[in-house]
Amino acid sequence: MLRQASAIILVRDSSTGIEVCMLRRSASSKFAAGAYVFPGGVVEESDGQLDTDHFINGIHEQESTQHKALRQYKTAAVRETLEESGILVSTSMGDKVIGSKQRENFQNGVISLDVLLKELGVKIDLNGLIFYDHWITPEGAPIRFDTRFFLARYSGHQELIHNEQEMNSSCWASSQDIIDRYERKQIKLMPVTHVQLKRLAEFSTIEALFEVANKSVNIDPILPLLNYSDSGEVISVSIPLIGGVVEYPVFLKQN
């Protein structure tokens, strides 16, 4: 079964350049156990049913099916990021802060995203999320996702507080630092995350990153392929990128 999903590559400025929000999935997770990931998850039906009053950017009843679908993906990305990191991105937050009880109630499913938005008096800024990349998990994988990735800039005074039911660590770090730790075998990354981090490492400022991202109009899905041994065992995954095909070892659970 191919599940629709969304993720946010959340970035902020620092004295040493761009930092990205990373979360480490718990060792007991059914997907990407022990890996550092970007916040994100499965798109839910409710993400497409959020009242248009909760959005900025002039939504109208006659909007195209494609626009509605992208809005649903963006809403899911905002919701999942809040659930996993405690940060409400791409909204009219200003200097407002989510109370600890509000965050706890939301993460535990006591209140929904629309209720929280009403309580805070904020709206989702659709233009603050830039559609950046699209990946589909290869056929043969035990769990498959059709995932849209969005870029978002961190702003405000919100603290990174990961959901301990799903994550066991979180941090802000430069892309290169995460890559270096991966290459020293200190942490685990899925191939898609490693590719995204390498792309981020090419930019020294968020402005330069967003300038390039905003010029991307037609984003085709990246379709990795599993490679098998003669005995039928999966041995690696090949990913066709603009610069050529790259090959990664199969992702393994954290020991």
Tokens of 107: 């993460």
Kindly give the parts of the chain with pLDDT less than 50.
Answer: 253-255
What is the third-level CATH fold of 2-220? Answer: Nucleoside Triphosphate Pyrophosphohydrolase (3.90.79)
- Tens digits of per-residue pLDDT, 183-227? 999 999 999 999 999 999 999 999 999 999 998 878 999 999 999
How many Å apart are CA 36 and CA 139, to the nearest integer?
23
Instruction: Decide if 24 contacts 167 (C-beta within 8 A).
Output: yes
Give the model's pLDDT for residue 16: 84
Which of 71, 70, 101 minimizes the C-alpha distance to 86?
A: 101
How many Å apart are CA 248 and CA 138, to the nearest integer?
13
Which amino acid is residue 5, in one-letter code? A
Which amino acid is residue 105, in one-letter code? N
